[in-house]
Amino acid sequence: MWHARTKGARQAGQLQVVGIIQEQHPDRCRLYAQWQQFDWPILHDPINAIGARAVPMFVAIDEAGIVVDSVLSLDRLDAFLSRPPATAESAVGIRPPSREQLYAQGEAMWDSAAAKKSAEAWMQAGDALLLWGKPADLDRAWVAYQRGLELAPDHAPLQFRLGVAHRMRFDLLDDPDAFAQAAAAWNRALELDPNHYIYRRRIQQYGPRLMKPYPFYDWIQQARAEIRARGETPVPLVAEPTGAEVASPQTSWTAAPAARENPDPQGRIDRDGGTLVQARVVVVPATIPPGSTTRIHVILRPKAGVFWNNEVDPPVVWIDLPAGWEATEIETSTPVPSQAETREVRSYDFELKTPPAATDRTLSGFALIYICENRGGQCLFRRIDFEIPLRFVTAEK
Amino acid sequence: MHPPRPLGGDRRSGGLRKGMPRWAAWIATGCMLTAACWPPLSPCTAAAEPRAQYAPRTEQQHPSLVLPRIDDGSPASLEQWRGKKVLLIHFASW
């Protein structure tokens, strides 16, 4: 709506629209902007460096950089546009520093943080490395946030940033454990600041349907189709949304319609043992009250040189559910590709409803997969075992 | 949605040195021009202070910020659009 309403003013050079997005993956917003044909600059703030408590927000700023309306609404847009131009001396554009300059400052901040022994200084050093460094700098950003948390364990913004850095390591550095670490850090950030809308949305993005306000990325398929229909190529995504990220909200619990049979009740299928496929489990939220629901992400990643065999049945995922526990159907957002052999990371999502008296425990599960040791090489049928750690908060806490 | 609490903003002058880029002046005065050192009221030198939340105040300078553009990751700051009216939209694609 704002895009359409400001079109004339933008084209007349009367207005500069600038977006700032509060989300993890900038490529998803690039796809959204391509779909909506946004032609204005959008800046990425994955770590919530500006300290926003909520989105959306619309701020009107005059030619001299002075805020004239901090909560602009559409009905006040024309009044903003018709204001006489500010004539202050400072109404001259200033080029931002280069990425290299900002990165160099980040390096200096690292030394400064070490000397100051301050959580805030470590956070600034981590921010500079994360925003302006290369993917290889993510580990140092993570270390900076960790050092800050050693000084201030209850620092919610540091916990949130730590989660962002972990998730970036999962997406960009193929660290299989980093998604679970991200979820744990975001969980802690929300515990520390339960009224923070941005932190809450991050948990809801990957969490169960009962806690979702809306589906997060259900627009992606429609966007791609419409972009292709225009003759364009959709912006590629670094990480396809998982089932949780496209799931619709629910107002009541819906378990899987019928109990399935264990596909390997006697455990006779050969175990892979982590040789060919790495299995990781992420629980979101990482801790829940007994009786509530949580979302389980089972992520299967072929090891180097190993390929899925797509010429046979897709993987089957099984969970051993104790009495009194319920689960939804297992969904996957990674359909089997048309090529015979592929190497994509596969994610399987489902939700658990826990009993009212549940206590900390670990559930077991497995996936049955067809996998090839190398391209064109021997293909095997294997069982991948995994565990689902479940942690509960109690009223006393 | 939670109503933003006001925080003290700096006035429009800025008190910057002449003859050097504004970003260099900020760095020289101890406050990095990165989102890492935002907002300007919690400068690097006040490292022990908790961060204020984003709450731009009417009739005051919008806080400085430098963030990467989503298209190429290059730095962008609001100051580069001085001389134009700016509509700043905080949003997410979800």
Percent of chain A with pLDDT over 70: 98
Q: Do residues A17 and A115 both lie within one domain?
A: no
Task: Tell whether A13 is covered by a domain.
Answer: yes
What is residue A276's DSSP assignment? S
Are B44 and A101 a contacting pair at CB < 8 A? no
Q: Which residue has better confidence, A93 or A209?
A: A209
- DSSP class per residue in chain B: --PPPP-----S---PPTTS-HHHHHHHTT--SSGGG-STTS-GGGTTSPPPPP---TTSBPPP-EEEBTTT--EEEGGGGTTSEEEEEEE---
Q: Mean pLDDT across chain A, nearest whole number?
A: 93
- Is the pLDDT at A86 greater than 50? The verdict is yes
> What is the reported pLDDT for B34?
44
CB-nearest partner of A61 from B1, B36, B78: B78
Q: Do residues A63 and A157 both lie within one domain?
A: no
Task: Tell whether A248 is covered by a domain.
Answer: no
Count the domains in chain A.
Answer: 3
Q: Which domain holds residue A31?
A: 2-90
Q: Do residues A106 and A9 both lie within one domain?
A: no
Last residue of a domain, which of A43, A63, A90?
Answer: A90
Task: Tell whether A397 is covered by a domain.
Answer: no
CB-nearest partner of A124 from B44, B53, B66: B44
The SS3 of residue A194 is coil
Q: Which residues of B touch A126 (CB under 8 A)?
A: 36
Q: Do residues A19 and A72 both lie within one domain?
A: yes
**Could you tell me the sign of the dihedral formed by the alpha carbons of B13, B18, B24, B30, in that order?**
negative
pLDDT band at A94; cut points 50, 70, 90: confident
Task: Tell whether A34 is covered by a domain.
Answer: yes
Q: Which residues of B touch A172 (CB under 8 A)?
A: none
State whether residue A192 sits within 8 Å of chain B by CB.
Answer: no
Q: What is the CATH number of the domain that holds A302?
A: 2.60.40.1250
Last residue of a domain, which of A144, A177, A206?
Answer: A206
Q: What is the CATH number of the domain that holds A187?
A: 1.25.40.10
Task: Tell whether A216 is covered by a domain.
Answer: no
Q: Do residues A110 and A143 both lie within one domain?
A: yes
Are A65 and B82 a contacting pair at CB < 8 A? yes
Q: Do residues A356 and A314 both lie within one domain?
A: yes
Q: Do residues A111 and A163 both lie within one domain?
A: yes
How does pLDDT run across A175-227, given as a tens digit for each residue? 999 999 999 999 999 999 999 999 999 999 999 999 999 999 999 999 999 99
State whether residue A151 sits within 8 Å of chain B by CB.
Answer: no
Residue of A nearest to B81 (CA): A93
> What is the reported pLDDT for A127?
96
Are A49 and B36 a contacting pair at CB < 8 A? yes
Q: Do residues A289 and A388 both lie within one domain?
A: yes
> What is the reported pLDDT for B52?
66
Last residue of a domain, which of A61, A90, A119?
Answer: A90
Q: What is the pLDDT along chain B (94 residues), one digit of tens a residue?
A: 333 322 222 222 222 223 334 433 333 333 333 444 433 333 333 333 445 689 999 999 999 999 999 999 999 999 999 999 999 999 999 9
Q: Which residue has better confidence, B37 or A37?
A: A37
Which residues, in sequence order, are bridge partners of residue A352? A294, A327
